[in-house]
Amino acid sequence: MMSTNLKFRLPTGEIMPLIGFGTWMLRGDKVLTKTLDLALKAGYRLFDTADMYGNEAEIGRALKELLPKHNLSRKDVFIQTKLDPGNQGGRSYKALRQSLYNLDCEYIDLYLIHWPGSYGVADKSPENAALRDDSWQKMVRAVKEGLIRHIGVSNYTIRHLKQLLSNNHGIKPVVNQVEWHPFWHQKDLYEFCKEQGILLQAYQPLGGPGNRDIMDDREVKKIAKKLDKTTAQVILRWSVQQNIAIIPKSQTEEHIYSNIQLDFTIPEEDMKTLFSLEQQKYDWDPETIA
């Protein structure tokens, strides 16, 4: 089971697990039910999805079936999903209500703007900022209506965050979900979010497809051997030890269990080694979005 101290207290006082379960590319009722069953048994209580992933309804059905099996109820799990970039602005309220319907639950714990841009709008167009603002206003409305408990963003740079914070319509973002792992981390973004009380949540916390694999890195392997941990555990603990939330994904029972067993400490000299690895971004880059 997950260590009970790996949690984050949101501004509302509610508790959010630092270790969640990612569901990107997991599709189909059979796959989701089997995988979430293992995740719940292992101790995961936060589940991350998105409209873009096309699996909200399958997750909703799986949790309806599985929560009673594990003697849990809706309040025992934290469900988060995201606004599709194609639904920024005027379509955002309808989209969030559709996500709520798909997930078949009374409320969503955390709803994020998935991307600072909008499909069909040029990256450099000022319309992006206007659409983001419109989406945020609709999300604030949904919080006031009790449809959503908390709101946040994903893939936001400091520039995007400053724009939002200058006019947040009464509610600050509680989370910024970004690519974050030893091969890609931004100290200035980390410091800014920490200063603003915004929790960084890492997607692709184990890296992603590319020419270099973090788990094959010589230094990572050396640290894992020294600590008698898997390379994945070392990489994930590196983020958690910075109080950064993570949402690793796996369909393998062994990895589902080991990825949540992070109640250990990486020595400071080894943390510095992990910070010093050559940087390589795997996923989409929001810097180009106006």
Residues marked active site are found at 53
Q: Which two three-digit tokens encode residue 99?
A: 């996500």
Whether 174 and 199 have beta carbons less than 8 Å apart is answered as: yes
Q: How many Å apart are CA 96 and CA 163, to the nearest integer?
A: 22
Within 8 A by CB and 6+ apart from 206, the residues are: 181, 214, 215, 232, 235, 236, 248
15-17 and 7-9 strand pairing: antiparallel
Residue with tokens 């600050």, as numbered in its chain: 172
Amino acid at 287: E
- The β-bridge partners of 79 are 47
Length of the chain: 290
Residue with tokens 């690519």, as numbered in its chain: 179
To which H or E segment does residue 58 belong?
Answer: helix 56-69
In whole angstroms, how far apart are CA 64 and each of 61, 84, 107, 128, 242? Answer: 5, 24, 14, 37, 34
Q: What angle do CA 37, 104, 12 make, to 5 degrees?
A: 90
Helix, strand, coil shares of the chain as percentages rounded to 5?
Answer: 45, 15, 40
Within 8 A by CB and 6+ apart from 145, the residues are: none
Query: Is 181 marked as a binding-site residue?
Result: no
To which H or E segment does residue 15 belong?
Answer: strand 15-17
